[in-house]
Structures are given as C-alpha cells and as structure tokens.
C-alpha cells in the first residue's frame, strides 16, 4: 500500500494552493494530489469566459506550468476519483480499488454542475460549464457559431455563458425562474443593470419563467425547449447554469458532519481525525455572514482556506477570517464584489449605471457589509476596508459618488 504524508483530493484552485502553500511553508513530506481532470491543475473561472470565447488557450489558464509540480516534488494523478475513506485506518480508496494510506487528508473536491432533471435533459446538445471537458464539448457543438442557444439560469455562470455566446453571433435566450437575474447574490440595481446590458447585446431574457422540457429531433439532438407556459423556443444548444452539488459523498459516508457540503471548523478541519475540507464544498461559520454556516464558491475562499490548512499541517494554526470577494467579466464589464450582501436592509447606488461605472453599497443596521463595483475598482478596494472595519456610515453621505469610500473610515 502506497503511503503519502498528505493526500489532496481535488486538483482545482484549493487543492493546488494547498500543495503550493505546504512547500512555501517548508513542508518536506510527500504530497499526492488526485483529480478527476486528467490535466495539470488549471483555473476554473476562465472556463465560462476567456477559454470558452477562445481568447485564452488552455496553456494560459494553467495554475502553474507542468514542470513546477515536478520541481516541487508534488505527485499529480489525474483521471481518478476517491470513492471511500476509512478515517480510523487513514486509508483512501480510489475508483478501481486501489487503496492509499495518508497521514493528513485534504478534501478539495469542489462540486459537480447541477444537471437539469426535466424530460429531455439527456439529449445531445445539453451542456454544463464546470470542467474543461464540459467546455470542450460545448465548443465542439458551437463550431463557428451562429447557433440558437438557450441558457437556463440567470446566475453568474449563465450570464457569463450568454455573453460569450453573443460573441459567436448566436441567438441567445436566457430563462430565469426568479423575477430578476442574480436574485440570490445581488440587489435590484445590479440585477437590472445586467439585464439591460444583456438585452442591449441581443439576449432575450425571460424572467419569471420555468422550463418544462427539452424536445429532441429524430437523432436525439436538442431541437427546442418547452416552457411551462407551453411556448416552444427552437434551439440547437442548451446550457444549464443552475448551481453545483457539493462533492462530499465519501466524506459523509465516512461519518463527516454536513447537510450542505461538509462542516469544518475555523481551521478547516472536519470532525474526522486528520481530515480537512476546503473550497466550494466546505461549510463554515463565516463572520461576514454574522456567523451563519455557509459555503463560498469562490477562488478567494479556496485559496485562503488552503493556506489555513497548510499552516495547521506545518504547526502554525491560524483561524480562518478572510473577507469574501468575487468577480465576474461580461462583455467589457468588470464586476468586483466584496463582502456578503445577504441580510442587508439598505442599498446605496453610487453613480449612474448608464455610465457603466458605478457601485452599490449594502448596509445592515447602518454598517457596511458588502460592495458591488462595476468598472469601479477604487470602490471595490476601499469598500473592503469599510467592511473589514465594520464601519457605520450615513447612507445619505454615501450617495456622493465623488467622495472616496476611504474617507468614511
């Protein structure tokens, strides 16, 4: 039985950063990183943006050049899935039956794209955007463009995919169940801005709309989607952007606690001995969500939690207190978000969305808890400081978009 001092399950941002941080902190033990992707670790956000659009080849989204992992004595094994954990024996079983022994196990399994469950969801031409093979299959179907595309879901993945499809001269329809896009993560000002931008680029956005089924042709390829209203929209491609399902099955089966992902403490430790979890699948009590247990699906969270685990393993434990931040690129729009707007009771719009450079400040009980900055990097950077300092601000004073946010500290 092969033994490794640290086995990392998942070769995305969190897994890669754990291995990198361990070496940076002087860890000299053996490290094995396992992943379903057969390639070296790569960045996930560009998949729905620059990689899908063809603006960046795969080599440019690698987290590190392949030789880096060799030089750092980090063993990569792709195309494998961890299927079982024995937390008492410290053993990990892989698909195919191989059993490995570990001293520390870091689970950075992320999640799988949530699939459509309606009739016709298995037809050829139905796609998700989560891993490189997903996007490669979509690009193959897309060809030179000019297709009729229906996007299901008005979250960031759906909006980013819709934006890229317009670059390929596709006829794009976006279907969203809620009454606005980004309804779970942003206020109405930002939602309406992105709705207007997408419509300006020719996207047909259908709000308050539900999908009934996907219709196929004689070759079992997508031919149309049918809405609950009975309307049929002819299409060649369907893209589902409806969230992820955390990949934590073996952890839960081994006795790990968790209802939405797997629960971890402030050091990213599960209730299983010597087993950590980080990234999209790790549910933790977050101080910027008033202590609520949440999962954060962001590169920032994966990186910061990876560093926490590396510090614990190398004997310098530090609790996780990182301020959440996110970004999204759509068309020529750069959205940067700091903090968590969930639970806000006041929003302040700084600037005019028509100028395509503005910010939205979210407050709760007079305290700044989040900032959305559209093509306005200064508000994003300075807003982080307001959030971290738990600054109380008069909303009326925030309306002056010419007054730098740092002056409110």
- Sign of the CA dihedral running 45, 47, 48, 52: positive
Please enumerate in sequence order all residues whose Cβ is within 8 A of that of 216, keeping only pairs 6 or more positions apart, or say none: 120, 123, 124, 222, 223
Q: Which residues pair with 92 in a beta bridge?
A: 85, 100
Distance set, CA 202 to CA 99, 197, 223 (Å): 53, 9, 21
pLDDT computed for residue 130 by the predictor: 94
**Residue 330: what are its φ and ψ, rounded to 5°?**
-140, 125
Helix (H) or strand (E) holding 153: none
Beta strands in 230-357 (DSSP E): 232-234, 237-240, 244-246, 262-263, 275-277, 282-285, 293-295, 325-330, 333-339, 346-350
Picking from 247, 352, 252, the residue whose alpha carbon sits closest to that of residue 15 is: 247
pLDDT computed for residue 113 by the predictor: 94
Listed in sequence order, the DSSP H helices in 4-131 are 13-24, 50-53, 66-71
Please enumerate in sequence order all residues whose Cβ is within 8 A of that of 205, keeping only pairs 6 or more positions apart, or say none: 154, 173, 174, 176, 181, 195, 198, 199
Q: Which residues of the chain have pLDDT under 70?
A: none
> Rg for the chain (alpha carbons), in Å?
22
81: tokens are: 């899935």
- Whether the Cβ atoms of residue 363 and residue 348 lie closer than 8 Å to each other: yes
- Sign of the CA dihedral running 1, 35, 59, 148: positive
358: tokens are: 């503005």
pLDDT computed for residue 23 by the predictor: 98
């Amino acid at each position: 039985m092969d033994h490794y001092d640290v086995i990392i399950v998942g070769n995305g941002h969190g897994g890669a950063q754990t291995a990198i941080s361990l070496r940076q902190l002087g860890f000299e033990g053996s490290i094995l990183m396992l992943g379903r992707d057969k390639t070296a670790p790569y960045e996930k956000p560009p998949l729905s943006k620059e990689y899908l659009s063809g603006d960046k080849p795969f080599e440019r989204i690698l987290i590190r050049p392949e030789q880096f992992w060799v030089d750092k004595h980090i063993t990569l094994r792709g195309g494998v899935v961890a299927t079982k954990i024995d937390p008492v024996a410290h053993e990990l079983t892989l698909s195919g039956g191989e059993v490995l022994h570990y001293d520390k196990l870091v689970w950075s399994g992320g999640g799988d794209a949530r699939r459509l469950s309606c009739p016709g969801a298995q037809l050829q031409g139905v796609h998700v955007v989560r891993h490189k093979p997903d996007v490669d299959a979509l690009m193959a179907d897309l060809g030179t463009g000019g297709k009729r595309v229906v996007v299901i879901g008005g979250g960031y993945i759906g909006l980013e995919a819709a934006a890229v499809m317009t670059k390929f001269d596709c006829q794009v329809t976006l279907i969203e169940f809620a009454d606005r896009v980004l309804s779970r993560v942003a206020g109405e000002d930002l939602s309406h801005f992105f709705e207007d931008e997408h419509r300006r680029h020719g996207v047909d956005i259908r709000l308050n709309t539900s999908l009934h089924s996907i219709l196929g042709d004689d070759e079992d390829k997508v031919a149309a989607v049918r809405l609950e209203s009975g309307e049929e929209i002819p299409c060649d491609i369907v893209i589902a952007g409806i969230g992820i399902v955390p990949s934590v099955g073996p952890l839960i089966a081994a006795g790990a606690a968790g209802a939405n992902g797997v629960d971890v403490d402030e050091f990213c430790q599960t209730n299983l001995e010597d087993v950590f979890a980080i990234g999209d699948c790790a549910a933790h009590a977050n101080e910027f969500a008033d202590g609520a247990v949440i999962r954060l699906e962001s590169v920032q969270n994966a990186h910061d939690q990876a560093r926490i685990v590396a510090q614990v393993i190398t004997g310098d434990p530090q609790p996780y207190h990182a301020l959440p931040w996110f970004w999204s690129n759509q068309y020529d729009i750069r959205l940067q978000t700091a903090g968590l707007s969930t639970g806000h009771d006041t929003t302040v719009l700084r600037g005019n969305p028509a100028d395509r450079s503005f910010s939205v400040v979210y407050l709760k009980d007079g305290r700044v808890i989040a900032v959305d900055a559209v093509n306005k990097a200064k508000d994003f950077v300075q807003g982080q400081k307001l959030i971290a300092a738990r600054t109380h601000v008069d909303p009326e004073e925030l309306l002056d978009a010419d007054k730098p946010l740092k002056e409110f500290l």
